Amino acid sequence: MAHYCTDGKSEIPELRYVQYDNDREDELLPQIRQLISKDLSEPYSIYVYRYFLYQWSDLCFMALDRADRLIGVVICKLEPHRGGPMRGYIAMLATQEAHRGKGIATKLVSLAIEAMQARDADEIALETEVSNVASNKLYERLGFLRTKRLHRYYLNGNTAYRLVLYLKEGTALKQSYYDYSEGPQELRC
């Protein structure tokens, strides 16, 4: 899925980090869509956003500037994975290009991880493009490990890594049923 960010460190004090609110959809969703779809050749339909935001609005965090403009956003979900561990999934992450390298994405992802931890997540997973060094670094600094390489995962033919972060002991032993088709289980873009 889409992860547009860099692994910066310094934080900008004037930003506010807030949770998404479905009641403010009119104002927020267009901005989120614009930010995420900017780098996508094929945009997600509004259903995809609502799929996440309506069910897991508490796992979506935004960085807003003083004028309430959207600077960065992270969108996630959390549910049992194939009858096994409670798996969080970071679906989308983006920061405005002009604000990259300032640690905004790291902060957003950290907030999401903490929120998922509070909701009893066993693990968190996501996919990133192999060539997206900045995004890989960001997640790996936080503790994610690469678990699989996914050949031609994206529609543009690019290969991805699956990154996984365990949050609890014994997660590996929580058996999921094995899906032999191993089809497109998560979002691909």
Given the complex with another protein, which of 65 and 171 has the nearer CB atom?
171
Residue 100: CA count within 13 A, CB half-sphere? 15
145 neighbors 163 (Cβ within 8 angstroms): yes
Q: Is 146 helix (H, G, I), strand (E, B) or coil?
A: strand
**H helices of the chain, where?**
25-37, 46-55, 104-118, 133-142
Decide: is 34 part of the binding site for another protein (CB under 8 A).
no
- Of 126, 12, 146, nearest to 59 (Cα)? 126
> Minimum CB separation from another protein for residue 145, in Å?
6
- Bridging pattern class, strands 3-4 and 86-95: parallel
> Minimum CB separation from another protein for residue 152, in Å?
5
Binder to another protein among 113, 126, 127, 129 (CB under 8 A)? 113
Q: Please give the Cα distance from 30 to 12 (Å, whole number).
A: 24
Tell me which stretch binds another protein (CB under 8 A): 11-19, 35-43, 62-70, 93-101.
Answer: 35-43
Of 126-165, binders to another protein (CB under 8 A) are 130, 140-153, 157, 159, 161, 164-165
90 neighbors 52 (Cβ within 8 angstroms): no
Decide: is 82 part of the binding site for another protein (CB under 8 A).
no
- Bridging pattern class, strands 145-150 and 160-166: antiparallel
Given the complex with another protein, which of 14 and 169 has the nearer CB atom?
169
Given the complex with another protein, which of 19 and 159 has the nearer CB atom?
159
Q: Binding-site residue total for another protein (CB under 8 A)?
A: 58
Interacting residue ranges for another protein, rule: CB under 8 A: 22-23, 25-26, 29, 41-48, 50-51, 53-55, 77, 110, 113, 117, 130, 140-153, 157, 159, 161, 164-173, 178, 182-188
